[in-house]
Structure 1
Amino acid sequence: MRSAIAIARRLIPEINDEEASALAALVEFRNTEFHDDSTKFDPTILTARIPDCQVLVLKLLAFSNDPATAILSKDDSAQFEAVKAAKSGDRKKRVRSLIDSCKDRFFHLTAEQQEAKRKAVTPNFVSAVTTGGAHIRVEKCPACATAGLLGGRPISSSDPMLKDNDIVVEVRVIPEIFECKACDLTIKGLDELLAAGFPHEFTSFDSQDIIEHFGLDPMDYIDPEEVAREYHESAYEYNDE
C-alpha cells in the first residue's frame, strides 16, 4: 500500500503528507477489522482523518478528470467540497491562540467561580433543532471542557424511520459554529472548527409529526355527536351532584 501511495504522490504532487497519512490510517483500520479481533485501533483517530481522506478523493477525481458526482451522491459531493475549501487554509495557529486565550482567562478564575459558570450554562439537552432549522448538539469546549453548543446546517436526511416510538429522520449536518458561554469561546466556520478538532459532520434526529407523515385527518376519527353527548352527560352528572 505504501508503494501505491508513493506512486499516487508522484503522479499528483498536490497530495500532501496529511492526506497520504490519512489514507494509510484508513487502510490500517480496514486491515485491523478484517484480520484482527482486537480493538487496539482507536476509531476516534480515524474520524479525525476522514476530512483529509475526503480531500484526497477529490484530488484523485480531479486527476482523472471526473466530477465528484461520478462516485459520490450530490449531497456527499457538496460536503466533500465544503471540507476541501475549509482545509485549503491553515487556521490552526489562529484557532490555537483563540483557544489558549479563553482557556487562560477561564482558569484564572477561582475553582468556585469556574464551577458556578459551568453550572449556569450547562444545557439540559443533548441535541436540538431551532425554529430556523439549524441543528445543535452538545460538545465539550476545547478551552475549558465545559459543555458548549456546536451548530450547523443540514445537508441531507434519511427516509423516515421509527425510533423509540417516534417517527424521525436522521439528518447529516455540516458544523458552522461552536459557542461556549462559560469561557466565551466562539469558533465560526468549518475551516476553524476543523482546526480546533471538531468533527467535519455530525448526525441529528429530527422528529416528524405523525399526523402529517401519514396524511391523517383527525376529524376522520372523531364523532362530533358522540363528543357532544359525552360532554352533556358529564355536565349533567356534575349538576346532579
Structure 2
Amino acid sequence: MKKPAVKKRPRTRTNDPDRTQQDIIAVATEEFSEHGLSGARVDNIAERTRTSKRMIYYYFKSKEGLYLEVLTNYYKTLRNAERNLNLDDLPPLEALTKLVHFTVDFHNAHADDVRLVIAENMQRGRFIKTLPSLEPINSVVINAVRRICERGAAAGVMRDGIDPIDLYMSIAALSFFNISNRYTFSIIFNHDMESAEALEKRKASITDTILRSVGR
C-alpha cells in the first residue's frame, strides 16, 4: 500500500527579502521580550518564521545584530507613528491630548516592546548606546513637544518654561507603568489594569494629570 505523501511545511518566500526580514523582526521581538538577549534562541525564531538560521545570520550577521535591529525597529515604528499624528495642525492642548492618548494606546498595543525596553535598561543600555542613528529618530518627538509648549505659552494656555524632554518623559513614564508594572500592581492592590474599561479610565487620568501639569 502506497504511503500518503508527507506534507512539507511552507517556508517564507525568499523572493521578498523585505517581508522576510520584517517577519523575522516581529517574531524576534517576542522572543527577546520573553527571554532576553541571552535566553533567546535563534532556532526558535527560525522555526516560527519558517526560515533558517543561515538566512537570519545572512540578514542580521549575529543574534546581537538581530537584537539591535529589533531595538531600532521599535523606535522607528514609534516615532513614525508619532510623526503621523500631525500635531502641528492642532491647537496646543488638543495636540498634547492627542499625543498622550496615542502614547498610552501604543504602549498597550505593544506590550512586547515595553518588556524589550525594560530588558535593555536592565543591561544599562549596553546595546542601544551602540546605535547612534537613534538620536535623530528620537529627536523628532521632542521637537514636536517643544513646538506644542511654545505655541501653548504664546496662546496663554500653557505656562512658560516647560522643558519638552521632561514633559515627554512624564507622558512616557505614566504610559509605560501600566505595562511594566501591570501584573505586580494588579496582584498587590487587587486592581484591574487590563480590561478595556480600566484602560480607558487610566488614559483619562493620565491625560488629566499631564494637562494640569502644563497649565498656568
Same fold judged by TM-score > 0.5? no
Higher strand share: 1
Higher helix share: 2
TM bin (shorter chain): under 0.3
Q: Highest CA radius of gyration, 1 or 2?
A: 1
Compare relative contact order (CA 8 Å, sep 6+) and give the higher one, 1 or 2.
2
